A and B are shown apart, each in its own frame.
Chain A
Amino acid sequence: MSTMAPDRIELRRDNTATADVQLPAVKSYTQATDEILDTLRVTKAWFAGLGVAVLCLLIGGTAWAYQIYMGLGVAGYRPPVMWGVYIITFVFWIGIGHAGTLISAILYLFRAGFRTTIYRCAEAMTVFAVMTAGLFPILHLGRPWKFFWLIPYPHWRLIWPQFKSPLVWDVFAVLTYLTVSATFLFIGLIPDIAVLRDRETNPVRKQIFGVLSFGWRNSDREWRHFARAYLFLAAFSTPLVLSVHSVVSFDFAMANLPGWHTTIFPPYFVAGAIFSGMGMVFTIIIPVRRWFKLKHYVTINVLDAGAKLCLFTSLVVGCAYLTEFFIAWYSGSEVEQSYFWNRVFGQWWWAAWIMLTCNAILPLLLFSQRLRRNTTFLFTLSIFINLGMWYERFVIIVPSMSHEFEPWKWGPYAPTYIDWAILLGSFGWFSMWFLLFIKQLPVLAIAEVKEIVPPRMRHAHAEPDPEGHSIAPGLIGSYEVR
């Protein structure tokens, strides 16, 4: 805040994030454009990062190829634990995606200004997270090469998928989500791609950007249509934030296993998804704002506001955890009670306590304003949130299956190096796309940033022109329109 110029509009309280996020250090449109486009410059560090990501992806890909060849037995599955790391990671990545849509769509509709400087990053994260998540249901199949049987398509044998199966709903939910969020991301990018086109010197790239920006000419009409389309897609995406993860939660809630068969799952999963997504947003945006020197765009107020959202969803999730235990006790069902007891004090106590600590206890520190505004703390916490949310899915999936109705088939579960390699590969896949994205397309929405940068006046009434009279009578000033 030290950079704040005294002639700027005063914040009511210096350290409070409000809906009207101010970018006091951004003086002009030119500065915004230059600084944001400057992030697209390719660096050695970026190449190194991309190399690591691709290496991770190759490790995961090799593991998958081996798994397809040998069979799923190379992974750590131990019946009755028939779903393991892959489904955990699927739900994890789907959840990550939700924060992006929440930030870009719901907060847009709610006119929460702090979204402006992080939404592009979050939205890209959504698309790549869903792309990552979408691999896992295929990856975990016994016969992945038959995955298309889950998709309804006309067939001469008149075989359709079982529409009662939540897994078929998943196919629809994930594909819809991927389509809509990718479209939403792309639509938002149009004016920025036009900027790229204008500044591009390479004719080929210029041509491509030209096509991608649909020949954007910055006309009023285009802006009007753009705003409408953007609003429409935001409205369209909003229910998806709630529905997609609800559908994912049906994978569990529709089954009859203790710990799965519960009506609390849809809201619980949605809250958890947003929580985990906020965690991942922090994990990404904090290094990005530091490395790309964007601290005066992604201000500490923005992070503070995000941290509050994070805290809120953490409280919701914590409440859901407690509710689950209450319901288990209240149900009077021995199976349910035994399962929940086992979850916390039995063979899976460590996983449950990782989950509770990371998701419900540590985020309580965010009640402290000082910590909310400490990026090192936020980043560290975000790592714990990511870990905790992965373990939340672990705790939901693995202990339920390992300790259900039939005591004779209770058993342990331990992932193997194949599981871990594929998990690593998923991070490689996600990071690869993200790294490619941030060097091709602006990680901050230039157009939207400009909307909150107070326009610098080309002429102001206080400055008479050399001839000593105003440009026009009554005109206070004119905006720089670059």
Chain B
Amino acid sequence: MSERATPAGEPKAGTSRRTFLKVLGAASATTAVAACSSNTGEELIPYLVHPDETVPGVSNYYASTCRECAAGCGLLLEVRDGRTFKVEGNPDHPLNRGALCSRGQASVQGLYNPDRYRQPMLRKNGRLTPISWTQATTLLTQQLAGIQGAGKAGGAVFINQHETGSFPGFLDAWLEGYGMPPHLSYAALSDGAVIAANKQSYGVAWPSLDFTAAKIVVSFGADFLETWGASVPQQLSFADARAKGVDAPRVIYVGPRRSLTGMNADQWIPCKPGSELAIANALGGTGTMAQAAQSADVPAATLEALASALAGAPSLLLAGGSMELALAVNALNQKFGNVGRSVLTTQPIESFEGMTTDAELTDAIERMRAGQVPLLFVRGVNPVFTSPRSAKVADAISKVPFKVSFSSYPDETSELCDLVLPDHHAIESWGDAQPIPGVISLQQPGMDPVYDTRATADVLLALAKTNPKLAAAHPAGNYREYLISRYPGGTTAFTAALIKGIGNGTVAGQRPHRAAVPATARAAANIAGTSGDFYLVVYPSPLLEDGSGANKPWLQEIPDPVTKVCWQTVIEVGTSAAARLAIDPGDVLRVETPAGAITAPAFVYPGLRGDTIAVAFGRGHTAYGRYAQNVGVSPGDVLPVAFDAKSGAMAWTSTKVKVTKTGDFVPLVSAEGSARQHGRGVAQAIDAGDLARTEPAEVPVSPMHGNEQTEEHMPGDASHEFLPGLRAPVAQDAQGDLPSDDNLKGMYDPKHWSGMAKRRWAMTIDLARCTGCSACVTACYAENNVPTVGARHQSSATAGLEGQPGANILRGREMAWIRLERFYEGGETLDESFETRFVPMLCQHCGNAPCEPVCPVYATYHSPDGLNVQVYNRCVGTRYCSNNCPYKVRYFNWFGYGEPARPQYAWPERMNWQLNPDVTVRGKGVMEKCSMCVQRIRESEHRAKLEGRALVADEFTTSCAQACPSNAITFGDAADPAWSVTKLIADRRGYHVFEELNTFTAVVYLKKINHPAPSAPAGR
């Protein structure tokens, strides 16, 4: 202001206008130029001249092999613009035939996990600090030379995850070169006892199972639909068997806890823990039924009925638990003539061959504790977490002078190590597997590495090359060359096999199979010798397995198939015990053994004996990244170190525990509203006997509307006109079926230029096949960019529950477009048995949708081809549609799950690479729901159009249907008789949920088929 007062003509102090403009111009220009370049140099489209077969915006599929468990299922990696964003089952793979379990599908979240090591790490001053690969390999070379020089190489230990294929042999050869002993091939919580028994009985680790050849299936604690053996092929066969309807096998589950497999059984025999052997022996004739019944605490009549049922029909008996039990059950299979019929020992699953026992690992751990191990390598396993805490594995490992981890994740074990050489994720690596004899399943990278990691095999090769003595033994430049050099038929055959992902042949020079019997004898687990009020059953979580799934938010968020609890460890208590001790769901219990104690909320479960509690293994990590750390507790904290005497496998059900109520209450993070149907008919079932009757099914009577039926015929009224019920006036209209051509009501014009109006996309879900495994849920999360909402950091604005894992789920805000409902039928009283029914519930795409007329802004409307469409951009978020949806399948974005700046962001950096580019990431404040994978529908329609043809029946399907390991979901065009779905809709078991509401749903459920015991009265 003072300048104003200066007399004219005098030069002004400060900047002149001219100078100012000059500076301004220059500054703007430099800013603008600087803004044009960024440090990272991102590219809008990755290729200027693109490689063959790579078209921006079009997916490529690479066949590979799953490494999430030992089974080795075939994968198809969907790759777009250089990023793998979805993992699907390989339809050509003989093991999984296109299906894939949740764990396999979630592997992509391991790939992009935000907590992966981004480069090698070295412990400096007690902390892991990043170093370069050159430094890391130099350091390791020195260490190797050091122990070799000291003559201690023979004491080194390499623990590798159990896998088949070339790598184990390659690894042993490498170790031998340095004078180190062969590696330990370890899988935690594996069925070591059963494998040992199978080796003894059949000479193979795992026979394949044909459920379709059996009329009665008895499982002695073998959870063949979850983690017992190769779950996907077993589930495929099981579902095929159950779909046979009247001829399907009756399934009986024997065990103290009714697992997911047990829920799929028609009968549950709740025997005392450890008494399965007595029952199997009694069935085999080496004990009396009365004795068995007494030791198992079940009525003798039940066991006698079981014996007589087994006597009359082809059967299949399965065992999980001790080797003795497995041997007894194998003998029963032999006795009943099942070997070669339902137990196919000639077509074994090779994946479990050569597995190290828990005892061998413990021996190695004890050597470490004794200071005899100079160097430890750990790859793909996490023994610190997966061993009972009382085994003090962490202490033992700390005694090793130099510990090398190849883990890609900061898990409990790698956090103890001195050097971390992060391995590629399986999706970034080359490899192979031999899941079944004569079949090589190839593993190829789906993309460039996400971080600065290196394949362990390549690291080992590089190390060997630096040693002149060893270089000659390792001529391959990298592991891929190594694989090719050993592949039967060489490069040509290898390249050809890569296209399908499988080749014929046997991996040459696989590591010789080990003897199953451990070196040192073990004291047998003696459950009766422990003291406490309850038996403790510890089982691997169906989703998280040995805990390796815990860093994948999908697997944390998808409710456990049995308890329906997520982001939380619960202590399962039987209904009778809960009544006895006045335990309500959520009451915090303290479980104590001499080994330790855990506290967790109670889950009251009717499928558990009154003298038993059960805790799933998998949560309770103290490290392992943001999704796993300090979420839940681990039953490993209370377990004693106990072994199955014969096989050397860890005995997980080995102790009694003391259970006390702490008086606290923690609400259960559960997706379950009411576990009973209250007569609503959501999950319907039919007895096989009724299905066998020849007269046509009666018109289903609505459970809500009584028995009255009017003579008056309402066109398309599903409650009067039995199936397909898709002929709602609007659907008829859409199909041009209304009597008059001029009668074009609404907006469904059959002559619409889009030509789509003749279709009616529809789905059938066969509840006889569905096992409730929830793989469809994972598939939907993966395909449709459904955010997970339960992580601790996502809870920060959830008022009242800040910072609590699963807080948003406690508020019912899970986003799963498809959910697995688990209803109990019967069992209202303590003595009565109960039946479980699973229903995958998703948007029913009603022909007459209640959500549509209430939306004030037309954000949801009906597409001409029968879809109920949600327009995210138009949605203002009144949520009226959700209120009016009887199926409650609409999900609201309560927070900005897609906004990187928000704490609720569901895809922290690199996790967002998994997002499906075909599907919008929904914004805050809008409604979303199942779209029946509309992106797949349109993609197929466009492809057909480009190729100048009509859509071929069954040429594509939805993500859930594709993943389903039970083939329970069928999707297609119900207006075209060529599609499979049209035939299935006409099935006599078909029904619509809440059809009395005249919603004319596009999803037709086929009733579950129950197989009651022949003597039992039909129906419940």
Residues on A facing B (Cβ under 8 Å): 70-83, 137, 140-143, 146-147, 149-150, 159-162, 164-168, 171, 251, 254-257, 332-335, 338, 401, 404-411, 414, 416-418
Contacts and interface: CB of A to CB of B under 8 A. Distances in A.
A171 B876 CA distance: 14
Interface string B762-777: 0000000000000000
A235 to B, nearest CB: 30
A335 B680 contact: yes
Interface string B798-823: 11100000001001110000010101
Interface of B: 672-674, 676-680, 682, 703-706, 797-800, 808, 811-813, 819, 821, 823, 841, 850, 853-858, 874-880, 882-884, 886-888, 891-896, 902, 904, 923-927, 994, 997
Contact of A150 (B813, B856, B879): B856
A82 B894 contact: no
A147 B800 CA distance: 29
Contact of A408 (B674, B705, B891): B674
Contact of A141 (B850, B876, B886): B876
B886 A162 contact: no
Given A333-B704, A338-B678, A256 B892 contact: no
A254 B883 CA distance: 11
Contacts of A405: 680, 886-888, 994, 997
B22 to A, nearest CB: 41
Nearest to A255: B884
A407 B680 contact: yes
A71 B891 contact: no
A334 B884 CA distance: 18
B704 A334 contact: yes
A149 B874 contact: yes
Nearest to A335: B704
Given A143-B876, A334-B680, A405-B886, A71 B925 contact: yes
Given A71-B893, A71-B925, A406 B886 contact: yes
Residue of B878, B887, B895 with most chain A CB atoms under a 10 A cut-off: B878
A409 B673 contact: yes
A406 B798 CA distance: 25
Contact of B927 (A70, A142, A407, A418): A142
A75 B888 CA distance: 20
Given A142-B879, A171-B856, 7 more contacts: A79-B812, A79-B813, A82-B882, A141-B925, A143-B875, A162-B857, A408-B821
A161 B894 contact: no
Contact of B877 (A78, A143, A406, A411): A143
B673 A71 contact: no
B894 A408 contact: no
Contacts of B798: 73-74
A164 B811 CA distance: 31
14 contacts: A70-B902, A73-B811, A79-B813, A82-B883, A142-B925, A143-B926, A146-B876, A149-B876, A162-B853, A162-B857, A164-B854, A257-B883, A257-B884, A410-B673
Contacts of B924: 71, 142-143
A409 B877 contact: no
Given A162-B856, A162-B858, A256-B997, A408 B823 contact: yes
Contacts of B797: 70-71, 73-74
A80 B812 contact: yes
A288 B676 CA distance: 55
Contacts of A143: 875-877, 923-926
Contacts of B812: 78-81, 409, 411
Nearest to B799: A416
A208 to B, nearest CB: 37
A251 B879 CA distance: 12
Contacts of A408: 672-674, 682, 819, 821, 823, 841, 888
Interface of chain A: mostly helix, strand, loop or mixed = loop
A260 to B, nearest CB: 8
Which of A332, A407, A410 is most buried by chain B, counting CB atoms within 10 A of its CB?
A407
Nearest to A138: B876
B875 A411 contact: no
A410 B887 CA distance: 11
A125 B97 CA distance: 70
Given A77-B811, A83-B879, A143-B876, A407 B682 contact: yes
A88 to B, nearest CB: 14
Contacts of B857: 149-150, 161-162
A134 B652 CA distance: 62
Q: Which 9 A-B pairs have the closest CB atoms?
A: A142-B877, A142-B925, A73-B894, A416-B799, A410-B673, A82-B879, A407-B674, A409-B888, A167-B856
B438 to A, nearest CB: 46
A73 B821 CA distance: 24
A72 B894 CA distance: 5
A255 B819 CA distance: 24
A255 B883 contact: yes
A390 B324 CA distance: 67
A142 B892 contact: yes
Contacts of B858: 159-162
B877 A79 contact: no
B245 to A, nearest CB: 26
A407 to B, nearest CB: 4
Contacts of A80: 812, 882-883, 888
Nearest to B815: A79
Contacts of B672: 408
Contacts of B896: 70-71
Nearest to B706: A332
B873 to A, nearest CB: 10
B886 A404 contact: yes
Contact of B673 (A82, A149, A257, A407): A407
Contacts of B994: 405
A166 B854 contact: yes
Contacts of B877: 72, 141-143
Contacts of B674: 407-408, 410
Nearest to B673: A410
A255 B880 contact: yes
B854 A254 contact: yes
A257 B883 CA distance: 8
A251 B878 CA distance: 11
Contacts of B888: 79-80, 404-406, 408-409
A71 B880 CA distance: 17
Nearest to B794: A73
A78 B883 contact: no
B850 A256 contact: yes
A418 B894 CA distance: 14
B895 A407 contact: no
Contacts of B927: 142
B586 to A, nearest CB: 12
A251 B880 CA distance: 9
A211 B884 CA distance: 50
A254 B703 CA distance: 23
Nearest to B819: A408
Contacts of A77: 811, 813, 892, 894
Contacts of A162: 853-858
A125 B882 CA distance: 34
Contacts of B891: 79
Contacts of B813: 73, 77-79
A165 B674 CA distance: 31
Contacts of B856: 149-150, 161-162, 165, 167-168, 171
Contacts of B850: 255-256
Contacts of A164: 853-854
A398 B797 CA distance: 23
Contacts of A70: 797, 895-896, 902
A8 to B, nearest CB: 57
A258 to B, nearest CB: 10
Contacts of A404: 886, 888
Given A334-B703, A405-B680, A72 B997 contact: no
Nearest to B810: A78
